[in-house]
Amino acid sequence: MSDNVDPSMYPTSLYRNKLLFPQYLRSENIVTQNVIDMNVEGDWLLYSYIVELDYETFSDMPVGLGNLGEALWVDDDWSSLMPKIVDESRKHGWCVVQFYDVAEDAASPRWRVLSRGSFTDWIKETAKDGTILRLGAKFKWGDDIGNSGEEECLFADNDCFLFKFREGNGQNIFAYSDISDALLDIAFSARQVKGQMDFIGSKPSFKHYKYGQSADDESIAKLDAKIKYVDVSAGIGAPIGVLESIESITDDGVYVVLPIFEKEVEIFAGVTRLPVSYYMGQRTSGGLGEKGETVDLLKIDRKKAALFARYAPQIKTFFYDMYDITIAAELELQQDETLDDVEEDNNGQEDKGTARTGQQEED
Whether pLDDT at 241 is above 90: no
DSSP string, 86-136: HHHHHHHSEEEEEE----TT-SS-SEEEE-TTTEEEEEEEE-TTS-EEEEE
Beta pairing class for 94-99 and 160-164: antiparallel
Which range among 83-87, 93-97, 133-137, 233-237 shows the weakest confidence by mean pLDDT? 233-237
Chain segment 278-310, per-residue pLDDT in tens: 998 765 555 555 566 778 888 899 999 999 999
Q: Can you give the pLDDT at residue 337?
A: 53
Domain boundaries, the chain: 15-93+165-204+252-363, 205-250
3 state DSSP class of 69: helix
Residue 9 clears pLDDT 90, i.e. is over it = no
Split at pLDDT 50, 70, 90, the class of 357 is very low
Question: pLDDT at position 24, please?
Answer: 46
Question: What kind and span of H or E run contains 140?
Answer: strand 132-142
What is the longest distance spanned by two Cα atoms in the chain?
A: 96
**pLDDT over threshold 80, residue 30:** no
The whole-angstrom distance between residue 216's C-alpha and the CA centroid of its chain comes to 56
Select the more confidently predicted residue: 270 or 22. 270
For residue 96, which of 122, 70, 58, 126 has the smallest C-alpha distance?
Answer: 122
**pLDDT of 4 higher than 70:** no
User: What SS3 class is residue 35?
Assistant: helix
Q: The whole model's pTM is what?
A: 0.74
Average pLDDT over residues 309-323: 91
**Is the pLDDT score of 15 beyond 80?**
no
Burial class of residue 283 (count of CB atoms within 10 Å of its CB; 0-12, 13-18, 19+) = buried
